Amino acid sequence: MIKRILTILFFFSVAVSAIAQEQINPQVVDSLILEGVNTLRQKKNRLPLKIAVPLEKAAHYHTEWMTAKHKLSHLENKKDLKTPDKRVLKFGGNYTFVGENVAYLSYDAKKTEQEIAKEFVSIWQHSKEHYKNMINRAFTLTGIAVIYDSEKQRIYATQVFAKP
């Protein structure tokens, strides 16, 4: 009987995690973050950022790393992936200037993708260094990644910026 209850609880836990993942469409949140950052840039008379594949790959890799480590950081342990510029280079980007914003939110099933994206933009907007990246005239390219961490009930995000 106890074994059956534990089995049911396990499957319920897996189902709840799957539901949370389904409720958050990372690509939608990515797009909404880009929209929010570009709206801010427009208010500051900056050109909108455009997506670049190497930056998206670097952002996704780093967000996966932070999720796996349950850690918010700009630096990694591997020498060839330690910094944002090294990660971008590893994924085929050859840019003169690179910046990176990272953050995480506690997961709240009541929040929509729009609210999640708006919160990430707001967090970065209220951080001096992250805000500088968002409105930097030199940056014209970006890559964004959002990943849900079911173990810690967090949503991690990375936005990488570059100047060609």
Mean pLDDT of 11-34: 68
77/88 Cα distance (integer angstroms): 15
Q: Count Cβ atoms below 10 Å from residue 118 Cβ, excluding itself.
A: 16
Q: What residues contact residue 56 under an 8 Å CB cut-off, 6+ apart?
A: 143, 144, 145, 160
pLDDT at 12: 38
Question: Which pLDDT belongs to residue 23?
Answer: 74
- Each residue's pLDDT tens digit, 39-65: 999 999 999 999 999 999 999 999 999
Kindly report the pTM of this predicted structure.
Answer: 0.85
